Structure 1
Amino acid sequence: MRYAVLGPVEVEGAAGRIPLGGKQHVVTAALLCRPNQAVSTDLLIDLLWPDDPPATARNSLQVYVYRLRKALGSDTVINHAAAGYTLLVEPGELDVHRFEAATTSARQAMDAGMTEDAAKLWQEALDLWRGEAFAGLNEFGLIREEAARLEEMRLETLEHRFDAELALGRHTRSIPELTALSARHPLRDRFRYQLMLALYRSGRRADALQVYREGRELVRAELGLEPGHDLRRLELDILRGDVALDLPSSSAATPASPALPPAREPRPAELPAGIATFVGRHAELTKISNLLRASREGDRLTVIAINGVGGIGKSSLAVEVARGVAEEFPDGQLYVNLHGATPGVAPLTADEVLDRLLRAVGDRGAGLPTGTEEATARFRTLTAGRRLLIVLDDAVDAAQVRPLLPGGPGCAVLITSRDVLTALDGATHVRLNALGEAEGVDLLSRLAGSERVGIDTAASLDIVRLCGCLPLAISIAGARLAARDDWTPALFAKRLGRAHRRLDELEHADLAVRASFTLSLDQLRRDVRRGGRSAAGLFPLLGLLETPNLSVAVVAALADRPEEEIEHDLDVLVGAQLLQALGPDRFEIHDLVRLYARELAWEELPEPDRAAAVRRALHHYLATIRIATGALVYDGASRRRAGLAQEKLTRAGTELTGRPDASAWLGAEVGNLLAITRQAAAAPDDGPELAIGLAAALNGLGNIRHFWRELVPINQLILDVARADGRTPVIALAHADLARSYRLTGQLDEAVAHFESALDRWRRVGDRTQQGHMLFGLGAVAAMRGRLDEAVTFHREALAIRREQGDPFGEAHMLHVIAVVLTEQGAFEEALGNQRQSLALFHSLGDAENEGMVLASIAELHHRRGDAARAVPLFERALRLLRSASDQMAEAGCLWRLGTALLALGRPGRERQREALAILQDLRALTADEVRAILRDPQPGIPRPLKWL
């Protein structure tokens, strides 16, 4: 048998891997925590049923062990005695034992001065790991403890391995992995010590000291302590340049080397110097470094292509990676800047580059190659059997680099390009995105000075955000701050805050963000083969909208062109790194690229054309959100057609087939709809009417995705628009929507004020329907405040209006609402009567969603009366109806209450409650911290968003 726990738990027999499912998996993991030792029955039961073990727990455990024995193919593998169950493991069968044996041998080799052997043995031990120990099961007590012990052993082994690597002089190649480990384990002094030493020995003294300063700040902030003695001593030694830190000439304790071979051509070492301001990119550094190191074992050429928008830091990353793995390529490192996007410089041709490369690898052949094909063949001949790293920086496209590739394994090629070189066969593509905000601030501080940036961290973060976390933009900002001692970060952030001037501010010496984007666009305009001109013509329009992302349908409306044409142009823009694809039908544009596109739109398009394009997009959005509202909202009042009349819309909306399709569209577009509503409010002509219509639809859909918090400022804006409009009904609707968003975000005083303002206006115009809505809202606020009698009074007045108007939906809704309040008051019989009337009305209307809501309330009523057994099947029936209606908020409420009822019956119910919390977090009704707090509570109350659902 073979047992593996250094990763997901796996068991392998003679016939292959043995499948383990469910609780069998947990039992196996627990027994492997203590191989050849008894694990008590009580402990296993606690692991399997952590909340409330059933009365049949011991019998069930016996069944699981019986099935496990059968799966393992032997009745004698697991013994049972009074002390518990014991899994018998032979020597070498468990990966933990092999790991421990390898580390023991490594320590012995190190003690004997056999450093090379020790390094290999420690690496062999680490190679046994396939992920986190007991992955997926390490949340259980006993298993969690063993996983933590093993993780500590893994980290200690890594530390020992790096001790050996540094003793062998492999400091440069250790830097990327040590950087990642220090970031992942910032309070572990040994990794930081080793990283500092590796950097110092690699000639990067300033970086080594910066690593110490970062560690010191973190330890003081987290623990209120100073770094350990060893780290403090190392910092002093680095500052003094103590020769004791240098690698001794006899450091690699290996057998004597043979006589030196005859002199040969100098090894090429063409990599540029390391970049002092390089920050972050730990994941990319580790990934690319590992791929390049693995090229030694491969049977084909390793090609890695880094792509990303101009100014994202592709070249810096390539140089940093190449320098870190240089020792892995003993035959040298070649570097060529292909000038694919250098202002004023034509890209190099393949012939020009091959001439340089051939000379670099010592071409002494008779006669010069007569063409590209011959030069490529000679280059492949000269690089065959050698281990070279070739960095081709700033490529135009795959055609430019294809002739420059060596032919066989051993060599590796690292390419950077704005374009995604998908036509390059066998290449691994790495997309580079913007820096994280913390990394951006780090870069800014390295350029402008850490003290200066640290004085106003909030303003410095604003600068990084206004730069879109783009390294080129941050570098320019840092250079400008460094050049102007009289500028504070706050002042420069204010200057960058002027969107129409931001690209002007991001220019310094020969660096300019605008120029970087212009190069990409100019290349498109010249690319007739790909249809680049058409895509370049579309590009300025993408700067006209303020939405976080763009769909094909919206861009088609902007451009007034068919979607099929637009899809092609958007794909071309993605390839040129002027757009990022978020999915097959959705795209994102970087903030600075958007500003550049907007500049072009203002320069190249007349104002009427710009306004018409935006107006088409707004009309498309309003038409589509009305389609979504019709599919998702049953309540006619919530589907009101406020704003521009339907017949005046000039664009059709996207067709949405059914509730799931409409719900998916809404989930993808919520952020865009909020942004486009703000933009519409400031647009000319029918912009305010469009904003009113968009806001009305958003308020009708608020419960579907629970974005009431975001709707508060939108509704405040719409109230200003409505007041400018001057019509009482429009103002009343705006007050009503603002009141509702305040109520659902818990701002109850503000909600009452706006409900009363709206009610007053509806009474003035005699709109009884809307009066009923406001009375319901006032009653809901009263209920949330615990004023239940007052709530019932408001709700009964609203019910009378619904009946007076012959509105069966409204009547059913108010009967249900009154019943919920009566249930809170303990008036169960009256509440049950109301709920049954409500249920009958909703059923007659074919309204499955609200029928499910009422059934859930009836189930809750029975649970409150102490009859959980009767409540559970009603909850389950309600849950089926709510899921079929795609009402996630109501589904979460039903799941939570079902879980509570199951727990009351002594049945597992926590998983249902976890499902409810997951939905609430997905809907942004609860934060991750709130969810964790609820899960920590052994007897949690009903989550806030579900209280009056």
Structure 2
Amino acid sequence: MKELRADIERAGLDTLSGRKAPRARVLLIAGRPGSGRSALAGELVRQVADRYPDGVLRARLSEPDGTRVPVGRAARELLDALEAPAPAGAAEDELGEALRTALADRRVLLLLDDAADAEQVDALLPDNPDCLAVVVSAGPLTGIADVRPCTLGGLDTKSAVEVLSRFTGSVRVTVDPRAAERLAEQCQGQPAALVLAGGWLAARPKAAVADLAGQLNADLGQGTVVGRVLRLVHASLPASAARTLRLLSLAPAGLVDPHTAAALAGCSVESARATLDDFVAHGLLHPVGGSSSPQYEVPCCLHPLLSALARDHERPAELQLARARMLERTVRLLQSCRAITETDSLRAREKLLEMPRSLRFPGPRAAADWLRVRRPALLASARLAVADGELDTLARRLMSQLVRAMVAHFGTRAAASDLYDVHGLVLDVAERRNLPRERAAALLNLGDLDARTGRTADALGRYRTALDAGREANDPYATGRAMESVGGAHLELGDYDRAADWFGRALTERLARGEGEDAARLYGRIGAAHTYAGRYGEALRNWRAAVAGHRRNGDVAAQARALSELARVQEYAGRLDESLRTCQEAVEWAGRAEDTRLQAALHLRLADSFQHLGDPASAALHRGTAERMLAEEALEEDSEPEHGANACEIRSSSAEE
């Protein structure tokens, strides 16, 4: 610790040469898993965090099984922590640049744990010398300038005995100090091995330190010292607890809660919770704070060892069954998490009551808290299920429920990045299993997210591929939706002729199937394309067809909006008198639909029209009415979610044309 703190103050090579450091200082803590490297990094961060007023950012750069975490995912997690999210589906370079931009004027402490290589770290370093990056890795980060590794080995004997005494108490160590020193030497001073040994002794207050030292001395087989101590701890556990411990290697992202443990072991949630608490006392798990829902983390140094124990003691079919039980339990929890938000649905309440009490949440807030805390594990579950390849049916159900739960609690916009990843996984399964209907759905969802983030050309390509998949599946919904989406992409790109053509194709499909509501909406989209192109005659004809269609369907609000757009086109075409009459009719229908925002927008448009006609008194009257209506609505509604269908143009002067 002293060496690391001195290294923070040490002048770098750039400073010595008279140049300002171009990037954040990097402190590297190197050591093998189990050497206490992460604990040391965490303590260093705690001691110096007050020097960095903009906070501490943490990211793990390797999965528990050693798989390298993609830079894009790590950068997005850091951006989310900064509340500066990047667009969904953004490329890795774009995310790295967004992170550097967000940190350009901040003074933060960055903790990058379990880094796999220098390239991974380099892509996340801020171009800001006021920031500090503490990196934990197994070896040197060659390629990053001005980095001095602080390499950890084993603790000295005195310090190792002190670690043991924290678990055993001072009496047992004082009674037989030689045995304690011998045990510390057998653990090679490795903190992880010492913690496991101390946990074993703490659980057996009548056992002497020499007993454990003798058992370790008898087991001089192959493997690391941490592995030898873990095997001894595993062998001393009851059969059910030992099996639970082995199966924790299947926990996604190394994160375990009582439901996960119960599903893996096939036991009750209460029993699983008690077993997990025992594991914490043994030093086998670390509790994860910050939530009312208990959650635990499997230490990374133990994960490969537990996986080896699982392979040695469990048949492959049993491991697959345990994984399937875990995914099934996760699916049911996600169903419950979503259903608790559907308070107006009698069917949803009935389905919720049919679930076991252990799977129900006390309220929407508790469900949202669980979803937020378990989010990394849930996303990891989806990735692992898809990578497995043998549980595609469960994987599809899991991803479907995960999407619905996130949309219900967080909304489409807030969850866009996670939804993009999940839809990408759905696409992988659909292509692997040759499921054209699901491939079309995934492509449409990905295309929508691309379109929202400004990648319209990418969205257009996805929509076209989705159209082919929908035709292959003979799915009229996917086909029609893809045609309309292709038209929308062309409209966004300014190709109004193609947009109107594709909307027309989608309209033909809807009319052939007698889908009146969608047909009326498509008449409006065709009218909008012609309006942008300046073909006001065609636009008027299609908007009138939209008005007629909505009237036949009895959709008063849609009819009012269509009349509003018809009035706009009439105004553009120079037919101010007709526009005025149509706008007044739209106000009447908007009043029947109780659409206050649309009424206010139409009153403002009437004000503009009267201004054009030289009647400032009437213009002022309508403008005042609009302002009053909007003020009353603001008082009545503290926070209303945005609805695209109710969005309308509000203008206050003709200069905005």
TM-score after normalising by structure 1: 0.36
- Greater helix percent: which structure? 2
TM-score after normalising by structure 2: 0.49
The one of the two structures with greater contact order (alpha-carbon pairs below 8 A, sep at least 6) is 2
